[in-house]
Amino acid sequence: MKPKKVLVVDDSKLLHRMFEMMLRGYPLVHAYDGREALDRLAEHKDVDLILLDINMPRMNGLEFLAAVKANAELAKIPVVIITTEGTEDDTQRGLQAGASAYVKKPFRNEELLGVINRLSAGTGTPA
Amino acid sequence: MKPDLPPRLGNALEELRATLDRAAELAKEIEKQPEAAAPSVPELQAQLDDVRSDREELSSKLAEYESQVSRLMNLYVATYQLHATLDPAEVQATIAEIAINLLGAERFVLLFWKTDESGECEIAFSQGMKADQSGLYKEGIYAGGDPAVDATLADGVLRIGPMDGSDVLACVPLTVQGTTVGALVILKLFDHKQSLKPEDRDLLDLLAAHAASALFAARVYSTTDRKLKTLESLVKLVRRQ
């Protein structure tokens, strides 16, 4: 089982390229800040996983997450926070804000793929 | 008493009897075989141990391959992204992204020798330097003072800390056609990344080999493009007059 469409929200072009390589076979939607990500979600109703950075211009990851969780339609989409903010407080803040998982940069590819597979299995998303 | 049979028929019956006898013997052997072929418990245990050992070996090899793929992917993406643009600012941003996202650097500076004879380096890019207590990197200039950085700028050799008399974790020479034009100085990693790992060495080597040339090419292109546009404007102006 794998997600139908993954929204990648990060202001780093390098990371977008990395996700393209790592998640071959997963259709990706790209956004470079929280505001753009909300626009992409409005366009792509079939996004069923979000990979989210925290430190971004215009609208940061936590603000975006709050907006997603406040929307009944979007709230069910699992969100994986992927960030350099790595303290225990940061992790708790992210999880309390509604993230399904918290991955610290730099991450190992297999670590992130493991999280995605676990979330996909948990949500029962059809392949 | 054997009946008198024509010789050919008698031979055929003899052959038939012999065949039946052999069939009976084979049947007995086959009946015995399952017991004979059934392995003993210790044999089964040994086979199971072999399978388990093979599985562990394969699993460890798989983990090793996954780790290698991950490393190669990082290297590929870093190289690709460094050479994906001819905008100097974007190349600098990519160097910073590699340092932050792939190496886990929280505090670092990107130094380039100034073109004048001052013997100073300009700080082309820095991250997290507000917390730096060394006082060596200020007002956009590094004038020397850290033995590891000075040595790398002088000999173009990659240095990874800890080093005597230096707070630097890694000092990556940036070289273009064998000439050291600057250095990437990593001063602190994120708290959740305790130290640079052996696989990070590949990325540092890659930065040493590609970062400066990518930036140099972008700067040359940018300068040439600017000059070309100026010349084009001049030509237009002259034509109008």
What is the model's pLDDT at position A41? 93
Q: Which CATH number goes with the domain that contains A29?
A: 3.40.50.2300
Look up the pTM and report it. Answer: 0.77
Shortest distance between the Cα of A85 and any Cα of chain B, in A, equals 8
What is the model's pLDDT at position B65? 87
| Contact residues on chain A for B102, CB-CB shorter than 8 A | 14, 106
Strand boundaries in chain B, DSSP class E:
105-113, 121-127, 137-138, 141-142, 159-160, 170-176, 179-189
**Is A12 part of any domain?**
yes
**Is A61 part of any domain?**
yes
Domain that holds residue A51: 6-122
Residue A123, pLDDT above cutoff 60: no
Beta strands A49-52 and B137-138, pairing class? unpaired
B94 with A21: Cβ contact below 8 A: no
Contact A14, B94 (CB under 8 A): yes
**Is B1 part of any domain?**
no
- Give chain A's domain count: 1
**Is A35 part of any domain?**
yes
Domain that holds residue B204: 64-192+199-224
**Chain segment B54-71, per-residue pLDDT in tens:** 999 999 998 888 888 888
A14 with B190: Cβ contact below 8 A: no
**Is B31 part of any domain?**
no
Q: Is A5 on the interface with B (CB under 8 A)?
A: no
**Is A44 part of any domain?**
yes
What is the model's pLDDT at position A126? 33
Q: Which residues contact A74 (CB under 8 A, 6 or more apart)?
A: A41, A68
Residue B218, pLDDT above cutoff 50: yes
ipTM for the predicted complex comes to 0.83
Tokens read off for B107: 């505090």
Listed residue (A82, A21, A88) closest to A51, CA to CA: A82
Listed residue (A36, A25, A99, A10) closest to A62, CA to CA: A99
| Contact residues on chain B for A90, CB-CB shorter than 8 A | none
**Is A32 part of any domain?**
yes
- Give chain B's domain count: 1
**Chain segment A54-85, per-residue pLDDT in tens:** 989 999 999 999 999 999 889 999 999 999 98
Contact B108, B130 (CB under 8 A): no
Q: Which CATH number goes with the domain that contains B204?
A: 3.30.450.40
What is the model's pLDDT at position B152? 92
Q: Which residues contact A82 (CB under 8 A, 6 or more apart)?
A: A10, A15, A51, A52, A53, A103, A104, A105, A107, A112
Element (H, E) at B19: helix B7-37
**Chain segment B134-172, per-residue pLDDT in tens:** 888 888 888 888 899 999 999 989 998 888 888 899 999
A17 with B98: Cβ contact below 8 A: no
**Is B160 part of any domain?**
yes
**Is A127 part of any domain?**
no
Residue B4, pLDDT above cutoff 80: no
Q: Is B4 on the interface with A (CB under 8 A)?
A: no
Residues 94-113 of A with CB under 8 A from B: 104-106, 108-110
Residue B6, pLDDT above cutoff 60: no
Q: Which chain B residue's Cα is nearest to A90?
A: B192
Within B117-171, residue ranges assigned H as helices are 147-155
**Is B230 part of any domain?**
no
